[in-house]
Chains A and B, each alone.
Chain A
Amino acid sequence: MPHRPPLKAGERAFNLLLLLLSGGVFYEAYRISGFELPNSAGAFPLLLGAIMIVTMLSILLGQRHHSRPAAGGALGELRQFLATHFPLPVVLFSLLAVGYLLALPALGFIAATALFLLITQLCLRRGHWVSAVLVTVLITAVIYALFTLLFQVYLP
């Protein structure tokens, strides 16, 4: 009997989500042109949807006998999931990243980028605020110069 590593927290849930996604893909593919001709716009997408469903089912079946990652039922698994895959820095960084994207069109590239860089650095390595300011100014200036002046890319 081969060794079976325990599932990671949330793995089964994630795979089930992907299975759901595969179903969605199949349904959307069906909506393109139904089960028409072998070379319709929807033929290849249907095939892809089917492949996704089949492979995901085979993954899920393969995991059928694996032990659950954590005791304490769904709630315990959720707690473990958060602890292993969503520790504080990841959550914080995700929020900051989204905030950055929202701020970009509103504040313009320079202000938003500088703010984002400054705040993330202060959050991620508490204390070093002098170097954080320096790095922020340097990176913002270099990127701005490189893109806008040299390559003439239109930044927000």
Chain B
Amino acid sequence: MLKHTLTALALATGLTATSLAAADYPEHNIQGIIQWGAGGATDNVARSLTPHVEEALGTKIILNNRPGGTGVIGMNAVMHKRPDGYTVLYGAENPQLYPIMGLADFTYADMQPINVIAQGLVVIAAPADSPFDSFQDLLDYAHQHPDELRMGDTGAGGLPSTLLAMINAVDSLEVRSVTFGGDGPGITAMLGDHIDFMPLSLAAAKEQIKAGRLKGLAVFTREPVESLPNIPPITQALPDIAAYLPWGPFWAVAVRKDTPDAVVDTLSDAYAKGVANEQFQRFLSDNSAKSLNLRGEEAEQFLKRWQSVTAWALEKAGSAKVSPESVGIPKP
């Protein structure tokens, strides 16, 4: 206990040299901050991955949800901790869009990515008794009756609005967007027929579609998805959207930018091992997510590409609050 107090004192007075700490990292528990709330997709990914990482790292990672502001709050918290590798961020795709949505002026580029874990698939779902049988039907109806269909949304910078923007970049789909607190409340509203359709992460909608409670109108891919082969790919209705594919939300782990290289290496090794774990891989495939397990240079490239594709699609559809050009996002 005395040692603990002394460490705290030393930290407080700024005596601890980060280089010293890096030598035998990790010396104590690590704090993991999840930028979305408990029970959501990011939370589930973080919590099922972490035990495997703890094993590889030989220390505990204490997870903490810091939701709010489309994830800005959690990310901001990590960026204000010491860059010693004792605070890691579990994030989703949203930070890549903060600058163009005017939410914050930082992205993953302002952090040190440790691992890009996996990418999710997206499905456009409708209530089981919906008059539409395919996305083409829905699009045709919307062309004749603009601004009449009710789309479930999760707010600016969320998955449905991003997807809508991508569709609007190649076609036109005018809808009333009804905002919910996340996938769950949106699906519930759809089950009660209170909205007409909603783009969802497949992980969230799969069970409802299998049970016939919801109808899948299109999957956001070029080819049909293995687990739900009857749902046509979006390219059937919108061939032009292929330019943006493959696209989907993703999950990543990152630490502060100035974290010592040795610590970054240790963490990257541990997370790579954790993601590769058989049990976690099964979790991903059960949830129709594609394992990526990218680190270092590869991870950075993936993040850049995702950002430029999505940001420019938003810009083209007129939904970007700030032009990607002005914040230095190159064209894809």
Contacts and interface: CB of A to CB of B under 8 A. Distances in A.
Contact of B5 (A105, A110, A152, A153): A110
**Most central of B5, B8, B9, B29 by chain A CB within 10 Å:** B8
A60 to B, nearest CB: 36
A82 interface: no
Interface in B1-15: 1, 4-5, 8-9, 12
Contacts of A110: 1, 4-5
Interface string B4-34: 1100110010000000000000000101000
Nearest to B7: A108
A106 interface: yes
A108 B62 contact: no
A107 interface: yes
Interface string B56-80: 0000101010000000000000000
Interface residues of A, number: 10
Interface in A93-138: 105-111
A99 to B, nearest CB: 15
Contacts of B5: 107-108, 110-111
Nearest to B8: A108
Given A154-B29, A154-B31, A107 B12 contact: yes
Given A108-B4, A110-B1, A110-B4, A152 B9 contact: no
Given A154-B29, A154-B31, A107 B64 contact: no
Contacts of B31: 154
A138 to B, nearest CB: 15
Contacts of B62: 152-154
A106 B5 CA distance: 11
Nearest to B29: A154
Given A152-B62, A154-B62, A108 B9 contact: yes
Nearest to A106: B12
Contacts of A106: 12
Contacts of B1: 110
A142 B29 CA distance: 21
A41 B60 CA distance: 42
A152 B62 CA distance: 7
Contacts of B12: 105-108
A154 B9 CA distance: 16
A154 B64 contact: yes
Contacts of B9: 107-108, 111
Given A154-B29, A154-B31, A111 B64 contact: no
A153 B31 CA distance: 10
Contacts of A152: 60, 62
A126 B212 CA distance: 72
A105 B5 CA distance: 12
25 contacts: A105-B12, A106-B12, A107-B5, A107-B8, A107-B9, A107-B12, A108-B4, A108-B5, A108-B8, A108-B9, A108-B12, A109-B8, A110-B1, A110-B4, A110-B5, A111-B5, A111-B8, A111-B9, A152-B60, A152-B62, A153-B62, A154-B29, A154-B31, A154-B62, A154-B64
Which 8 interchain pairs have the tightest Cβ spacing?
A108-B8, A106-B12, A154-B31, A152-B62, A154-B62, A111-B5, A108-B5, A110-B5
